[in-house]
Structure 1
């Protein structure tokens, strides 16, 4: 007997927001990972360095190691897809310190899908999960100087700029700052109550 899945009703689905839904990484996601590693400016902002040229083997290995929440690197890895089902990027919950209740989130939105609100929507889902389901209390992030898209997204989410680590990253022949952002659980809840999201 063949496994058939009827049409899924996402209307009350926790892992969906207005623009996107999060899902487990699937084996076929290697293609998007591979193709989007050729976007050097975006990769430099994400990794704070120039990576070696991408390979199909590395893309398939990454997906194999993280598919279906199988990662053993203490990251909870998701694929971000828009509501039409297109893979638009990836996001992960990482650096979880359960004793102190702190965590970070890594996110990439592929070039052709940037500036559509997908990143902000995906971040809201994962922040809600971290704060309201995992009982974490403080989100910490660092954005490379010049990464205006990520800095603006942090501000939209209600994050507070907490400081600057001056000239700590060397890339493209220059030393750049890391801008530090933070958001507490109470700040997140207060902002989203005002916006009518809770």
Structure 2
């Protein structure tokens, strides 16, 4: 018996209270924070413990949820993936992903994204996924293009951090575009 949520390399899963330390470690790298979001003020270990405990019991709000990404080779938490702004009327949602620096370029992100999109398109009936990536993050832009995302816009000097403004790349993929590359399996 297999799980929809288990790939060859990763298993997206609910966040557990003991995951706090791995998330704190990932946030300890400024480059990691900036590649996915922005630089945040330091948080205490107790703050991370409280956050992880809260996430462990949080119920999804519609189709908006946050998952930990666990590597199958060793059961180590390597990152997180989440959905945002899910709108059942329009069938659109946005998602974000972060993989810790020591775990990048191993196929974890691409597999977690494919599992998430398979769920949102094939099980939840969404039609389009949107992603927002800082233009300087060429590896993430290339990853998304390789998965079939198309660039839909590039707001110039849209976000401010590290002392200057940065362009943002808006990417999207539709359910049919995804299914062409990753056919939905039989039940």
TM-score by length of 1: 0.87
Equivalent-residue separation in structure 2 for 1:70 and 1:64 (angstroms): 12
The corresponding residue for 1:113 is 103
Does 1:27 find its partner at 2:38?
no
**Quick one: which of 12, 31, 41 aligns to 1:41?**
31
| Larger CA deviation: 12-21 vs 65-74 | 65-74
- Whether 1:133 aligns to 2:123 is yes
Highest CA radius of gyration, 1 or 2? 1
1:5 maps to none
Say which SS state the counterpart of residue 158 (structure 2) adopts: strand
Alignment pair present for 1:51 and 2:40:
yes
Give the superposed CA RMSD: 1.7
User: Aligned pair count?
Assistant: 184
Q: 5+ unaligned residues in a row in structure 1: which ranges?
A: 1-8
Is residue 145 of structure 2 the alignment partner of residue 155 of structure 1?
yes
Q: Contact conserved, 1:138 with 1:184, CA < 8 A, in 2? A: yes
Q: Which residue of structure 2 aligns with residue 62 of structure 1?
A: 51
Indicate whether 1:172 and 2:150 are aligned.
Answer: no
Deviations 1:25-50 (A, max 9, x none): 11100000111111101101211x32
Give the CA deviation at 1:69: 4.7
Q: Where has structure 1 moved over 6 Å in runs of 4 or more?
A: none
TM-score by length of 2: 0.92
SS of 1:167's partner is: coil
Question: Deviation of residue 132 (structure 1)?
Answer: 0.5
Where structure 2 has 5 or more consecutive residues not aligned to the other structure, the ranges are: none
